[in-house]
Structure 1
Amino acid sequence: MKPGNHINFLLRLLIDYLVLVLAFLCTRRYISGLGDVFFSPFNGLLLGISITAWTVIGLSLHLYDEFRTRSFSYEFVAILKTTLLHACFFTFLFFYCFKYYPYPRTFTLLNASLTFICITFTKFFVKQSLLRLRSNGYNIKNILIVGTGDTGMSFYRTILSNDHFGYRCVGFVDEQTNPYLNGQYLGKIADLPRVLEDHEIDDVIVALPETLSTEMEKIIITSEKEAKRVRIIADCYRFCTSTASMNLFGTFPLLTIRTSPLDDLAKQRFKRLFELCFTIALFITVFWWLFPLIALLIKISSPGPVLFKQTRQGLKNKKITCYKFRSMTRNSDTVDASGRYQQATQHDARVTPVGRFLRKTNLDELPQFFNVLMGDMSLVGPRPHPIPLHQESRNTIQNYMLRHVVKPGITGWAQVNGYRGETRVSGLMQKRVDFDLWYIENYSFWLDCQIIFQTLMNMIKGDKHAY
């Protein structure tokens, strides 16, 4: 760790320690009773344990990583995780080690709340202050870019357009110059030792094609001899997303260009457990009387079956049978004369009067909770499409098939943002897919709760895109 980075790390720790002490003292002040000693040696022991636990947990959960080029949301998640685990540790401590400590429940709840609020505020304030300082030329890291091709120039433009990242390009090194370098060309790769010695450089960014492996080795050896950190831009950077990650497979670094929180098996199981409990609760409290009532209305309004079954594509593009309450007349055509899928339109003659109400309130989708119980679908996820529409979209919509890396859902992020119903207008299906991919890459339990809540609100007030 460089001296500057070491000092920065210690300052962040000290600020957090100060917040922990103040939160502890405020909590003690609030819960102290008449005749209670405000700060005793035992409370000093608790404070020491609190600070030690916070340090260990924070380091383990990457709270003190470098968030220079990331939005505050990443740091916020790390703060939340650390605070929750810290509170769980104290709860365990009180119930198993310090059983006779007064007001343990009040203490842990209030202390955790104060800690979370104050830590979040101070870290946000520090981040905003550093962003302002970097914009004014302070707290800057100097970098040298090796490579003047498209990759190197794209990275350089990224630095210029994001001065709040706090990076300054000292210059370029390559076998040939580039007319757009504006005098920043510092020499060839053979001149690298001289360049590193003559300039104050923090990081060396290698932006060369992988074909130049011999030059890559020279650059790494030379830079590390001068105690410079080397960062390599992968040649496939154009295909990477903001969720790209790298893991070691033996000694081989494997770059995953697109990741999702749902790649984690534990998150998949938690999501499944929540959905099962939620679905079973609905069947016990609501569906046992609502389903027969809807079935009766469908039977009265038009002849035909109550349920409508349709084959659709699910997880990993496997076929599933999707259930809905029938909302159209029996034997309605689903494809036109040219074989193209006919989406429901406004004032569609195929939709029955009861079906129109069911579609407007999303009640026609309720039988898909059986799909959730069977494990074919999730409560929240990308909506599955009928086979003809699916086949048409997979060949025309960019990244369409990436929706199928997770289970389809009864409702989704695209639907609550208004992208449901017809997609005949150019660009609507692409927008729906973009929203679905954002959900996949940003999944969280709280996001699922938000989508479920928004769906319930849409059901109550009716959806103008549902017909």
Structure 2
Amino acid sequence: MVAQQTGRYSKYIRPISVLFDVITLTVLSLFFFRDLNVSEVNYVVYQTITWLLIAAIVGYYEVFRFTTPVEILSKLIKQFSLFLLVVIAFFPFAKTAIFSGTVIAYFVTLSFIIIVAFKSFLFIYLKKYRITTGSNYRNAIIIGYTAEAIRLKEVFDNRKDYGYRFYGYFSDKKQNPEISGRVEDIKKYVIDNKIDEIYCSLNEISNEKLKDLVEFADEHKKAIKFIPDTKEIFSKNLKIDYYELFPVLSLQKTQLHNPLIKGIKRAFDVVFSLFVIVFLLSWLIPILAILIKLESKGPVFFKQGRPGLDEKEFFCYKFRSMQVNRFTEKEASKNDPRVTKMGKFMRKTSIDELPQFFNVLLGDMSVVGPRPHLWSQNKAYATRIKKYMVRHYVKPGITGLAQVKGFRGEIETEEDMVNRIKLDVFYIENWSMFMDMKIIIQTVINIFKGEDKAY
């Protein structure tokens, strides 16, 4: 079973921008600093890490279709001002390096000119591309028919370069030929018309309906933004953006949506998985292969399609712990007759999960994240449990917060799944590297202690 995929706009623009910046800085530094006796490897690593850290601090890569040229220039100046300081700071600690203010000035100035030229080209090209081709647009609706809602619609109409298509107003309080329907009609309309963003005037909707709408947006991966007024809304962090002079409030994305954080987490995954593959699986696979084959016929590895990031299917690998059977979409239960003697030991110690480090290396999984469910579980619980689909905002993990808290293995009641989802969502919304390390350490402790539901 393969889930229907949802489209993402411009998903390659930011990675391309990051890659271009890093390559430009690397090439230019190697050229300018070649006569300054600088250790090339040490400097490039130092430069790349500090560039990305500064970018995260100043929001350098947080540029959207409605970001003004003045804001972009401001980000560039902040980025390069701080970058100049960290470049200068490298030389006192590099004992053999020769400091040259002139060379550093040339390096930073040329880097600034090239990167600004590329950013300008990309910014202008994308705006013209949207206007001339009609591509890469976001479909939007507005809840409410207030003066602010009408002003926002005028921004959409007048600024074609922002790339929005306005589909209609929805309101329970006003009657007007321009209104496309009532608030209760929104969910069906959003799905049927592939709406990407919902703009909500807060004085037009009750808190209960607003909460329900936010949960709907989470479940269907739609952006919901607010037209601000004096009404208090529930506890969510908000950020403010400006479409020209028009303020719009958006729900803050989690840390795991930050490109720098994603890069750090991915780097950790690659290093950690390579360590496990080289120093553990390299000798463990041949031993387990012999033991698995001696007990039962069938392949050494078991692979199964699972829903991953954005609910896209990937093949999850395990050591085969069961007799070959036709009921692969049925989860294991206590004293399951399909489980072999060797399989029982592997499942009790979680050794059967170790091949998933290959999934991590390939980029389908992370070391820590929500465990990938069966497709049958996704189908059963996606619409029954609130925020279930939020777990697909990040890569699935070999281990996760729900697992170390005891919610692993067989789902005996719906409450088991509810508790698992609560912990998965908490992990996504409150992620930190420290939390990842705690989960990894607790996973190892649990393996040696043994777990009741590890069967």
TM-score (norm 2): 0.50
- Point out the structure with max Rg over C-alpha: 1
Higher RCO (CA < 8 A, seq sep 6+)? 2
